[in-house]
Amino acid sequence: MGNLLEHMGIEKDRVHFSWISSAEATKFVDVVKEISDKVKALGPNKKFVKDYS
Partner 1 sequence: MDTCIQKIREIAGDLLEKGEVERVIGFAEGSIPMATSPVAISTKEDAQKLCFSSTCGLNLANYASKEKGKKIAVVAKGCDSRNLVTHIVENQIDRDNLYIIGVPCPGMVDKFKIAAEMGGEITGFEEAGDTLIVSTVDDKKELNKQDYLRHNCSLCTHKNPVLFDVLVGEEVEEQQLDNAYPDVDAIEALTADGRWKHFEELTQNCIRCYACRNACPLCYCPTCFVDESGPQWVGKGQDKTDVDTFHFLRAFHCAGRCTDCGACVEACPMGINVRDFTRKLNKDAQDMFGWEAGLTIDKRPPLDAYSPDDPNDFIK
Residues of the shown chain interacting with partner 1 in the complex, contacts defined by CB under 8 A? 1-11, 16-19, 31, 47-51
Instruction: Output the CA torsion 22→27→33→37 (10° steps).
Output: -130
CB of 46 to partner 1, least distance (A): 9
Q: Which is nearer to partner 1, 2 or 37 (CB)?
A: 2
Contact 17, 34 (CB under 8 A): no
| Sign of the alpha-carbon torsion through 3, 17, 48, 43 | negative
Q: Which is nearer to partner 1, 17 or 44 (CB)?
A: 17
Q: Which is nearer to partner 1, 22 or 51 (CB)?
A: 51
